[in-house]
């Protein structure tokens, strides 16, 4: 029975994602270029930074500025109201079907712990606040 829970979660995320592609089209039209920060990372976020660099930066870039393999998070699409902390916990667990961009699918990320992910979200939210996204 419990095997259905992830499927149900995934299905509801997928459904939400369809409705929010309309939203992202609207946002993309008004998007400003990503402003990555050069500010010193506060101590409370250095663990998150290290975990992000280890597990996420290969695609999402240093300081989450994006690469050819994945989007920046310094973008209004990923602000807390639109992609809540929960999506940052679920995406690495479930993988993500490409829907906002043309980078392809995000695979499941192996080896990253729940604690790492909590720290990673804290770090990403801090980076976003530096860019005025909150």
* Angle CA 52–92–54, to nearest 5: 25
DSSP of 65-120, one letter per residue? --BTTB--S-SGGGSTTTS-HHHHHHHHHH-B---SSSS-PBPPPTT--HHHHHHH
Per CB under 6 A, 126 contacts ligand HEC: no
- In angstroms, give the least distance from the CB of 60 to ligand HEC: 6
**Member of 27, 50, 65, 91 binding ligand HEC (CB under 6 A):** 91
- In angstroms, give the least distance from the CB of 1 to ligand HEC: 26
Number of H helices, E strands in the chain: 5, 0
Residues near ligand HEC (CB under 6 A), total: 26
Q: Give the residue among 94, 85, 32, 36 at the shortest CA–CA distance from 60.
A: 36
- In angstroms, give the least distance from the CB of 88 to ligand HEC: 4
DSSP 39: S
Give whichever of 79 and 130 is closer to ligand HEC, judged by the CB atom. 79
Per CB under 6 A, 64 contacts ligand HEC: no
The contact pattern for ligand HEC, residues 104-123, with x = CB under 6 A and - = no contact, is x-xx-x--x-------x---
- Dist. CA 58–CA 61, nearest whole Å: 6
User: Which residues are at the interface with ligand HEC (CB under 6 A)?
Assistant: 17, 55-56, 58-60, 69-71, 83, 87-88, 91-92, 96, 98-101, 103-104, 106-107, 109, 112, 120
């Amino acid at each position: 029975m419990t095997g259905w829970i992830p499927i149900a979660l995934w299905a509801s995320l997928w459904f939400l994602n369809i409705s929010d592609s309309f939203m992202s089209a609207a946002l993309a039209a008004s998007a400003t270029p990503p402003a990555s920060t050069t500010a010193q990372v506060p101590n409370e976020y250095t663990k998150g930074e290290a975990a992000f660099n280890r597990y996420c930066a290969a695609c999402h870039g240093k300081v989450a500025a994006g690469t050819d393999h994945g989007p920046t998070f310094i973008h209004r699409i990923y602000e807390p109201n639109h992609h809540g902390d929960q999506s940052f916990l679920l995406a690495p667990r479930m993988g993500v079907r490409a829907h906002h961009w043309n980078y392809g699918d995000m695979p499941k990320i192996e080896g990253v712990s729940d604690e790492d992910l909590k720290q990673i979200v804290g770090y990403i939210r801090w980076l976003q606040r530096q860019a005025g996204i909150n």
